[in-house]
Every structure is written in structure tokens, then in C-alpha cells.
Copies of this chain bind each other. A is one copy, B any other.
Amino acid sequence: MGDPRLLPRRRTPISLRRVDSSAAVDLPHFLRACRGLPGDRVPVWFMRQAGRSLPEYRARRGSGSILDAIADADLACELTLQPVQRYGVDAAILYSDIVVPVAAIGFGVDVAPGTGPVVEQPFARRADLERLRPLEPEVDTPYVLDTVRALCTELPASVPLIGFAGAPFTVASYLIEGRPSRTYGRTKALMAGDEPLWHDLMDRLVDLAVTSLRSQVTNGARAVQVFDSWAGALSPPDYARYVLPHSRRVFDGVADLDVPRIHFGVGTGELLGLMADAGAEVVGVDWRVPLDVARTRVPPDRALQGNLDPALCLAPWEVVDAATRDVLRRNAGHPGHVFNLGHGVLPETDPAVLERVVELVHAEGRADGAA
């Protein structure tokens, strides 16, 4: 902890406070786009950019639970930096997992390689709330703070670090199902069948997310992304009733920190307006909704993040090139666009393809005169 590399750099959050267009000339591209400020290029990063598609990742990561890798701050820092160095992306995303806080407070969750989060004793009854005590980041996840601080000394000022948290619904779905699900049957049955318990569970998960995100930002993260990856499994009325109030409290809980907040989910075409209501500056869009259509579903002051289909990155370059240009074209005319995939990088992806996507977005984004 005495290593000067690990000291927080305070200038980062401060430089973002109450930014306005005139004062923002040297804001990083990524932060400009999140704020909807005109810029001279479209920033780009990739969800799961630190991952199995990179040979340098596979070489360093080894086997075993991702939770062990996350708990090794040197390793987590290096894995976070790898894609920044290789791809020249405009943002770094903290190497983490949405179950880190619940695992750290001892709920009994692990991430099985090739499967995903598995819970020994799934959440099923009121007594299980006792297993969800508040998070003390300095005590429970000191390695996360070490990683964040180290990254802030390693990353160039032009590449902000994005903090990372699971949204209450998606974390709850893992705790209740006990393993990845395609149907979320137990989750929905508890949600609709014991609404008071559901809300109490969500309250605890809101607190975990807020506490974790606040600790990441106060240690140097310059934006946050809240992953509600599986919210798209819900109908709009169920989302509005059981999830939206809690997600809103997560975003409200970090609003005073004045960092851009990104709200991401998959298959959320019908929910985009409601997700925007939760309050984030940036709404993630998967590839199922063309960006020009997504634009009509959120207020005009929001930025959009997305939305190249990650599976198309397995096709020949001409296909990726055309699809990338199509994504750029569909948000032309609005400064609030963070280019990304619609979901995480697939492990089979050739890193050379993502390198070319970054080059193309940097070369062609705003070439349409949108700035």
C-alpha cells in the first residue's frame, strides 16, 4: 500500500465536476460523448475487451475462478490494461464481475469456468436476507480499490477508467437461480409471488452496488457502467414495477459524484425508455435495435452506447467494415455516441478484427459531419 503507484490521483473526478461545453475542450473523447458534447471523433471500447479473445490474456490469466484473478490487484490491473494497449480504445473497463460484492460479503457464490456464477445455497426465503450484509469496500474488496488506484496511475489521462457493478435485478437472478438461467423462472416467481421480500432483497443489492461504485469512483474511476445484463427477460410492466425503482436508486446513489453513468442490458428494446428513466447519461443498446430506432425511445439528452453485433466480428472483414459503418451512420447527427459491441466480445474473436474496428471508428466517426 506504500507503493506510490497505488496512490489515488485526485485530479480525475475533480476535473469532471460541473463540466460545460466551453470548459470541456480537453475532456477525453469518451467522457465528451457520454455527456453528449460535440467532439471530433466517436470514442470506442468493447465490453469484455479484457478476455479470452486476447492471447496475452490467456497467457496471464491461467485457469481457475475469475474471482481469484480479480482479487489479485496486480493481475487485474494488467488484464484491464491489455486491451487498452493493444486496441487503442478510448476507455478502460475495470476487470471485474458482477458477483464480486456478494461473493466478498460471503454469500457463497463462485464463478465456474465455462458456466458462470453458481451459488451453493440460492436465495429463497426471508432468512436469506441475513446473508447480505452491507459491503465495506476497504475491508471486503481492498483489491478492487488497489486495482482502481493502480490503473489511475497507469492509464493515460485520455483513457478514463470505467467502474463496474451489477444491477440489482441481474445480481438477484444469479442469487435466486443459483446458476445461469434462460428462463428466470424462480426469479420471476419470487419477484411476483413475494413482492415485499423481493423489494427487501433489491434494497440490499442496491446498497451493495452503490457502495461498490462509490468506492471505485472516489478512488479514481471516471465513469461507471451498471450491468443489468438480463433485464431484457422482463416485460415492460414487470420491469417498471419490480426493477426500475431500484435501478434508479443505484444511479441516484452515485449522482453527486458527477461521473457519467452507463446503463446496460441485452434484449432491452422494449425497455429502453424505462431504462433511460432510471437516470443514467448513457443507455446501452444491443444489436437488435438499430441506433436510429433506439434514439426514438430515449430522451434526446441521452447518449447511446453500442451496438455492433459481436457475432458479426467472426465474419470476414468486409462484413465487419460494413456493419461498423452502418452503426456509425445510424447515430449520425447526435454527438452522444460511444461505439461498442451490443454485448461482450466473443472468445473466438480475432483481436486483429477489433483493432481494425477501432481504427475505422476513429477514422470514420464524425466524418459524416455530425460534430
Contacts and interface: CB of A to CB of B under 8 A. Distances in A.
A340 B316 CA distance: 41
B184 A311 contact: yes
B183 A310 contact: yes
Given A192-B312, A193-B314, A232-B288, 16 more contacts: A183-B310, A185-B346, A188-B312, A189-B312, A189-B315, A192-B315, A193-B315, A232-B267, A233-B288, A235-B287, A235-B290, A235-B309, A236-B288, A237-B290, A267-B288, A269-B269
Interface in A220-257: 232-238
A30 to B, nearest CB: 25
Interface string A301-330: 000000001111011100100010010000
A19 interface: no
A327 to B, nearest CB: 10
Contacts of A346: 183, 185
A189 B311 CA distance: 7
Contacts of A293: 270
Nearest to A186: B314
Contact of A192 (B188, B238, B319): B319
Copies in the complex: 2
A7 interface: no
Interface residues of A, number: 36
Closest 6 CB pairs of A and B: A189-B314, A188-B311, A193-B315, A192-B315, A192-B319, A185-B311
Contacts of A290: 235-237, 270
A111 to B, nearest CB: 16
Contacts of A310: 183, 185
Interface in A166-208: 183-189, 192-193
A193 B319 CA distance: 7
B267 A311 contact: no
A367 interface: no
B235 A288 contact: yes
29 contacts: A183-B310, A183-B311, A183-B346, A185-B311, A185-B348, A188-B309, A188-B312, A189-B312, A189-B314, A189-B315, A192-B312, A192-B323, A193-B314, A193-B315, A193-B319, A232-B267, A232-B288, A233-B311, A234-B288, A235-B290, A236-B288, A237-B326, A238-B309, A267-B267, A267-B288, A269-B270, A270-B288, A270-B289, A270-B293
Most chain B C-beta atoms within 10 Å of own C-beta, residue among A185, A187, A238, A348: A185
A112 to B, nearest CB: 16
A233 B293 CA distance: 17
